[in-house]
Chain A
């Protein structure tokens, strides 16, 4: 069984990374067989977030794709993935926030439970491998949030540590690791650069 291709796309807020990722898979779907599957991890916690999600949905409306809402426990998507699917996960950063704070309703958020996030991290890498065993291409989108001085807030520093660690691990495993910045997409694995349309 051939392992699917893994692409990691990391860029700042409003850098056009989602559009870039979508275009990549839509172009690919036009010449290979396979469904386009979109894994959405954002949850509407307020009206602005709802509008943001709606905007993303609208952008995808013209595309023939299957959407799976999966804010936590990414492993839940694996049974819905079919052989040869082209999968886009948007995005890792919201998933991490959701996971770190899951359990807050019972006053036991993962972020304050020793070993909790370590377990979820290991599970995440396993799930990504499970998805790659079925799909021909998995694209993971994430936010660049680490180009500033460490936060004065302990929980934000914990978040930063985790996102950095997971980014490093995924970039190491990826076939393509693309940074979106200054209107440019740079693939750090093969040095290619592309100006965003």
Chain B
């Protein structure tokens, strides 16, 4: 699993689209690849915060579900950095940030590679097999 993470409107999708221009990509934006179709594709999952905002699963179930869906597949996950704004008044909005944050920690811990995107430029944050 390879994670691309960065702030909103930083060019993450564009970067992935360009870098993997010669591969077959199957995009899931705000939804998850629930079935085993697209076997010959690299799966790209984006907008997990939108999926989290609408799921009926509780936090633990939701996180486990995402971990299951990405397991043993060639997956790219695009994460929008959400942790440095003002904490909102609205309780649901606060909860969504908390859940996102915990999910991100879990995904980043499991990822083989993590790349940060900053306004179109990339920096490797983690790569399995390489000294940190």
A: which residues have CB within 8 A of B? 10, 12, 144, 146-150, 152, 160-161, 163-165, 167-168, 171-172, 177, 179, 188-189
Contacts and interface: CB of A to CB of B under 8 A. Distances in A.
B120 A171 contact: yes
B85 interface: yes
Contact of A163 (B9, B86, B100): B9
Contacts of B86: 148
Provide the main secondary structure of the chain B interface: loop
Contacts of B120: 168, 171-172
A149 B85 contact: yes
Interface size class of chain B, counting residues whose CB lies under 8 Å from the partner chain:
20 to 34
Provide the main secondary structure of the chain A interface: mixed
Contact of A149 (B9, B10, B82): B82
B118 interface: yes
Interface string B77-101: 0001111111000000100110010
A161 B7 CA distance: 11
Contacts, number: 66
A12 B8 contact: no
A96 to B, nearest CB: 13
Contacts of A165: 9
B49 A149 contact: yes
B33 interface: no
Contacts of B81: 146-148
A82 B38 CA distance: 59
A144 B85 CA distance: 10
Contacts of B121: 171, 177, 188-189
Contacts of B93: 149, 152
B84 A12 contact: yes
Contacts of B82: 147-149
A147 B119 contact: no
